[in-house]
Structure 1
Amino acid sequence: MQTEMNKVLAGLAEFYAHETFLLEKDLGERALTHRLAVHLEKQFSGWDVDCDYDKLGERTLRLPHGTIVSTDDHLGKSVYPDIVVHQRAIPNNLLAIEVRKASNHQPPEHDQHKLRALTDPHLWFAYWIGVFLVLGKNSVVSDVYAGGVIDKPMSGWFSERLKEIGLG
């Protein structure tokens, strides 16, 4: 898992090195996620990197009934992750990322529940890793999810690596 998370770190470092304009001008979350995905794509050779991807092979991504995360995208609370690293045709789901701006004062629970569900190993489409990123102008706050829960050791390791590259 550290190998994949090192790629996320490299993508974040590139994002912060080249996209300061977006952060300084407080552009919207979708602009940030798109540009972050561009930088992540360089790190994940052989994988597809997509934003708001709503398919799993030929099927539309839907969580089981009874989950608190809506599958109705018209409400703006879709189950679709902000960024995914996957193989579209198989499907093979490596990484789901939820991004928030530090200036977003809405509660983070929706994104956190989404990552718990998307990494739940009991679901046929589970992503191996989930990452929750809060992007500030000069720093990143994060949690890493695996197996449907926050992976505290990996979250701590990732937080320390963020500090080492000047984003902690």
Structure 2
Amino acid sequence: MQTELNKVLTALQEFYARESFLFEKDLGERTLTHRLAVHVEKQFPGWEVDCDYNRLGERKLRLPHGTIVSTDDELGKSIYPDIVVHQREIPNNLLAIEVRKTSNHQPPEHDRHKLHALTDPHLWFAYGIGVYLVLGKKSVVSDVYVGGVIDQAQSAWLAGRLKDVGLGG
């Protein structure tokens, strides 16, 4: 798991080194998400990296009835992770990333609930790892989700690595 998290860390370092314009002009989260996905893609050869991908093979990512996780479509059933690292046709879901700007004043529960559901091994579309990122102009706050919950040890490890490379929040 730390191998994959190190790849995310490298992507974040490249993102911050090359994309400062996005923060200077206060561009939106979708723009940040897309540009971060470009850097994530470089770190995961052999995997597809997509934004707002709502499929598992031919099926839509749908939540079970009665879930507390809010959805992103008009029918209230589908969810769209910000960035995913996966293999589309198999399907094989490695990593889901939710991105927020520090200036986003909406409650973070929506993104956190999505990562809870996306990494829940009891749901059919489980991702091995979920990463919650809050992007500031010069720093990142993060949490790591595994098995449907925040993994405190991996979250602390990633926070320490972010601090080591000057991106700790």
TM-score normalised by L of structure 1: 0.96
Aligned to 1:150: 150
Matched-pair contact (CA < 8 Å) for 1:69–1:78: no
Residues 42-75 of structure 1, C-alpha deviations (whole Å, 9 max, x = no match): 0000000000001100001101011122335138
Matched-pair contact (CA < 8 Å) for 2:54–2:80: yes
Matched-pair contact (CA < 8 Å) for 1:12–1:36: yes
3-state SS of paired residue (1:125): coil
Residues 159/77 of structure 1: CA separation in 2 closer, same or farther (3 Å cut): farther
User: In structure 1, what residue type is equivalent to 2:22?
Assistant: L
User: In structure 2, what residue type is equivalent to 1:33?
Assistant: T
User: In structure 2, what residue type is equivalent to 1:137?
Assistant: K
Distance 1:51 1:64 in 2: 22
Is the aligned partner of 1:40 residue 2:40?
Answer: yes
3-state SS of paired residue (1:116): helix
Distance 1:137 1:51 in 2: 22
User: In structure 1, what residue type is equivalent to 2:42?
Assistant: K
Aligned to 1:167: 167
Aligned to 1:66: 66
TM-score normalised by L of structure 2: 0.96
Distance 2:79 2:67 in 1: 10
Is the aligned partner of 1:93 residue 2:93?
Answer: yes
Is the aligned partner of 1:107 residue 2:82?
Answer: no
Distance 2:4 2:76 in 1: 29
User: In structure 2, what residue type is equivalent to 1:38?
Assistant: V
Pairwise mapping of residues 132-151 of structure 1 onto structure 2 (< 5 A)?
132-151=132-151
Q: Report the Cα offset of residue 125 of structure 1.
A: 1.2
Aligned to 1:26: 26
Moved over 3 A (4+): 74-78
Residues 87-125 of structure 1, C-alpha deviations (whole Å, 9 max, x = no match): 000000000000000000111001001100100000111
User: In structure 1, what residue type is equivalent to 2:136?
Assistant: G
Structure 1: gaps spanning 5 or more residues: none
Matched-pair contact (CA < 8 Å) for 2:97–2:132: yes
Distance 2:93 2:147 in 1: 13
Distance 1:85 1:60 in 2: 16
Q: Please provide the CA RMSD for this pair.
A: 1.5
